[in-house]
């Protein structure tokens, strides 16, 4: 399947790989892209969760305009394992012929609320392997494919976090990996220029998913208090990712921050 250009109302579409597609932001972005006419490879560790997304994707595909609406592929994948990532991209290219977009979304927060001096090394390593090493492996595989395909090029969007800017208390592993992801984004963006590979990052704060449900009842703040925080509709995140994805490769959103308007992030909260 070749990348195609649609009219100016919908922008570029093509073939996307979405990691962490089994829930939350990954599921919302998968459905949004498919409704816009993208073909999507769904990647994630839990096959049953991917199948649940596929059901939603199938329903979304019925509403999509164009011949590519409704095309999807489920590929159970542990992004921290190089062989799994290689198989993911091989399956995607085997089915659709190319890769135009990678949404590098898979991630884990690790054990929450654990003081740094008590964090087990195994927990630290799991977060690093998923959030940073997994993002690198997927970006590397996408880069190789995008560089070699005809027409050349594509786009990588990394899911950062507002934690790529400021930490929450007792979140050292998650925060460290999200800061590192910003460096990965910048380096990939620079190295991709000669090959029409555009790389950007979306930093998300308090999208309403299973992971952020606790925000509504109260989470630890920097001053030691427990306080509820506002959340935003995850569909608003998905639409932002789609906007970034559908720009021509000559244009790039290098960094975008999308957050619940009232969350304690800017100033004193």
Count the Cβ atoms, other than its own, within 10 Å of residue 259: 20
Contact 229, 263 (CB under 8 A): yes
DSSP-assigned states of every residue in 63-102 = T--STTTT-EEEEE--TTSHHHHHHHHHHHHHHHS---EE
Residue 174 bears catalytic tag: yes
Among candidate residues 143, 174, 195, 265, the one labeled active-site is: 174
Phi/psi at 101 (nearest 5 deg)? -150, 135
User: ∠ CA(163), CA(164), CA(170), 5° rounding?
Assistant: 35
- Count each helix (H run) and each strand (E run) in the chain, helices first: 7, 11
Neighbour-count burial for 68-78, b at 16+ CB within 10 Å, e otherwise:
bbbbbbbbbbb
Catalytic residues: 174
């Amino acid at each position: 399947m070749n990348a195609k250009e649609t009219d100016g109302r919908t922008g570029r579409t093509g073939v996307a790989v979405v990691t962490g597609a089994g829930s939350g932001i990954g599921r919302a972005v998968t459905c949004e892209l498919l409704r816009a006419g993208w073909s999507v490879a769904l990647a994630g560790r839990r096959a049953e969760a991917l199948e649940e997304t596929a059901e939603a994707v199938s329903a979304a595909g019925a509403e999509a305009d164009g011949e590519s609406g409704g095309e999807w592929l489920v590929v159970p994948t542990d992004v921290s394992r190089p062989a799994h990532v290689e198989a993911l991209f091989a399956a995607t290219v085997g089915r659709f012929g190319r890769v135009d977009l990678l949404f590098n979304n898979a991630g884990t927060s690790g054990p929450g609320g654990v003081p740094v001096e008590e964090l087990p090394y195994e927990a630290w390593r799991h977060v690093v392997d998923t959030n940073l090493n997994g993002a690198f492996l997927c970006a590397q595989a996408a880069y190789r494919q995008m560089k070699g395909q005809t027409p050349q090029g594509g786009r990588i969007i990394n899911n950062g976090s507002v934690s790529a800017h400021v930490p929450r208390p007792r979140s050292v592993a998650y925060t460290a990996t999200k800061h590192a992801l910003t460096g990965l984004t910048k380096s990939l963006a620079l190295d991709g220029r000669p090959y029409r590979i555009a790389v950007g990052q979306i930093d998300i704060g308090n999208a309403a998913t299973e992971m952020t449900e606790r925000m509504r009842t109260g989470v630890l703040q920097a001053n030691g208090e427990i306080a509820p925080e506002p959340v935003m509709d995850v569909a608003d995140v998905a639409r932002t990712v789609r906007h970034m994805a559908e720009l021509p490769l000559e244009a790039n959103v290098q960094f975008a921050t999308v957050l619940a308007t009232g969350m304690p992030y800017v100033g004193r909260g």
